[in-house]
Amino acid sequence: MALIELRDVSKTYRRDAIEIPVLDRVSITVPEGDFLGLMGPSGSGKSTLLNLLAGIDRPSSGSIRIGGNEISRLPERALAGWRARNIGFIFQLYNLIPVLTAFENVELPLLLTSLSRNERRDHVMTALGIVGLSDRAQHYPRQLSGGQEQRVAIARAIVTDPTLLLADEPTGDLDARSAGEVLTLLQRLNQEFKKTILMVTHDPHAAERAARLLHLEKGTLVEASDAEREARTVGVTP
């Protein structure tokens, strides 16, 4: 069953009188439970595509359906509610609030829900348990390693049990060991918890963990055979 259906999605930004095309008629189908890696050089439109899928930005043309919802046509208020229920976003630089503990950072998305304080606590501790940081709940970001900070960020992304996890260079700021731990966690979320994941990465070692690989080049998807050839040249198994 398809969870994500992009049809002829284009995105153009305008700077004064100049139009800057970023995505050009991109079509992708992502089945529920997939772990899709998205590669491509800087400026190829990868992060723009994630922002469109998250409802942070809107396409200039084309259709984006996620879980049967045409998100590209939802009004802003409805889109914000949909995003809170369905999207977990994992950033390269963690985006944790330094004056809040790990527990409080993970709890933030739940403050927008109707859950009671005790229910929120149960959800937060479950998420921290999944990422292996139950014993760091009261630690502040400055007291954690980079890998631990990213795992707190992942706990925050999954605490609402979202439909889709979007990861933008999740290992880009980590050393090799921490990156491996984060990638193993993402694989576990996909395989054990059946989370659908779309991960943008420049790292061929990270791309190896994805079940499937696509490649963006100048805003256009490379054909599957070309993507496979590109993957082989950098040691990635599509």
Query: What's the alpha-carbon Rg for the chain, to the nearest Å?
Result: 18
User: How far is residue 155's CA from residue 67's CA, in Å, rounded to a whole number?
Assistant: 22
User: How far is residue 67's CA from residue 41's CA, in Å, rounded to a whole number?
Assistant: 29
Residues sharing a CB contact under 8 Å with residue 122, sequence separation 6 or more, in sequence order: none
User: How far is residue 88's CA from residue 164's CA, in Å, rounded to a whole number?
Assistant: 6
Evaluate if pTM is beyond 0.85.
Answer: yes
Determine contact, residues 147/173, Cβ cutoff 8 Å: no
- pLDDT reported for residue 42: 87
User: How far is residue 180's CA from residue 27's CA, in Å, rounded to a whole number?
Assistant: 31
* CATH of range 33-58+83-233; options 3.50.50.60, 3.40.50.300, 3.90.180.10, 3.30.479.30: 3.40.50.300
Provide the residue ranges of all domains of the chain, joining segments of one domain with +. Answer: 33-58+83-233
CB neighbours of residue 210 within 10 Å: 25
- Write out the chain's pLDDT in tens, 238 residues: 899 999 999 999 988 889 999 999 999 999 999 999 999 988 899 999 999 999 999 999 999 999 999 998 899 999 999 999 999 999 989 999 999 999 999 999 999 889 999 999 999 999 999 999 999 999 999 999 999 999 999 999 999 999 999 999 999 999 999 999 999 999 999 999 999 999 999 899 999 999 999 999 989 988 544 444 444 444 444 3
Alpha helix (H) residue ranges in the chain? 46-53, 76-86, 102-107, 117-130, 146-158, 176-191, 204-207, 224-233
User: How far is residue 4's CA from residue 238's CA, in Å, rounded to a whole number?
Assistant: 20
Report the chain's terminal Cα–Cα distance, integer Å: 21
Residues sharing a CB contact under 8 Å with residue 69, sequence separation 6 or more, in sequence order: 82
Phi and psi at 160, nearest 5°, equal: -90, 5
> Among 86, 17, 81, 6, which residue's Cα sits nearest to residue 48?
6
CA angle 152, 153, 158 (to 5 degrees): 95
Burial class of residue 62 (count of CB atoms within 10 Å of its CB; 0-12, 13-18, 19+): middle
